[in-house]
Structure 1
Amino acid sequence: MVAGWGGKSSLARALADDLDLPYVELDSIHWLPDWEDIDAEVFRKEVQGIIDENPDGWVIDGNYVGKLQGLVTGQAETVVYVDMPWRVWFWRVFWRSMTRAWRNEHLWNGNRETWRNHFLSRDSLILFMLKRFRNYRGKRVENFRAAAGAARFIQLSSRGALNRFYKERGLDR
């Protein structure tokens, strides 16, 4: 499982390709049309079904440790937590979101990031980053570390650490 902020999806895809395992993006399951949240129980059943269908392994990309109640972390061999500093993470997510809005990219189940979502909504990811992320960061890492249980836990807390992880494993970016 790969979770965290500022590079998790790229890393998860690279690991899945390298290990020849299915890549599962939790956002694609979680977000229903019109940005509606999936029911937590339905979400858990969908994710467990994917895990059951892939007994040889999987690489799951996502941050839903609370909603999934340890379902993924409890079955993972390794949990990699990408924990970039706020200044790195903010700009990566900001530019990714602006690019998606500019290009009108299709994400999941007909959803798209829009200028309205980013600048005129209380649910704005950018607003969340500005208001809450600094206080939220340490708590999230500890939640994932605790949820990982017996799984190997790898925390990548800088661009250098992330780059070394890619290089040591011969992963393509």
Structure 2
Amino acid sequence: MKITGKKSLLWWLRYPFGVYIVIFAIASLWILSLIILYFFTEETNRFISLESLKNPGSSIAVQFHYPFTSMALTTKNTYQSLLLAFLGLISINFILLTTFRIILELSQDNFFTDKAIKNFKILGFGLLAFGVIQGFINILISPQQPDLIQPFVFLITGFSLILMKEVFLKGKKMQDESDLVI
């Protein structure tokens, strides 16, 4: 079975992946609205609850419950942690949506097009921005021992995708030159 192009693995996987993205985006909007509500009011309800963490001397955690499931997003009850949770959900949705756009291009055998190159560029620079913002927030949260692993992964992945964009751009130029020769 082919991986790219019509009737390929990517061509068939775009449907369940698209459905997953829509469901995840709706659930994310729900949680993001709960985070915003709690950020401004600090009130709990049946979807927002407070719970003490199991470590002795640790702070209180806030849980944002997804509807119709027993799942919850849990974070420390600080403004910085709420901001990181908010940024995390936004970044995951951004990554999924942009990856879906790349999959749509590749599933149609559109490798060296302006659209594919633009999507790699958007995803690469977006990950760089998320990495820098998240690293800055982590340094604000705990300046003595900031957790910089996830921002570092975002930065490395962003640089890799920008490199891929350059490879696709070079491929597009070669394809355009080949088309002119023929």
TM range (shorter): under 0.3
Structure number with bigger Rg: 2
Given the two structures, how large is their TM-score scaled by the length of structure 2? 0.26
Q: Which has the bigger relative contact order, CA under 8 A and spacing at least 6?
A: 1
Larger strand proportion of the pair? 1
Given the two structures, how large is their TM-score scaled by the length of structure 1? 0.27
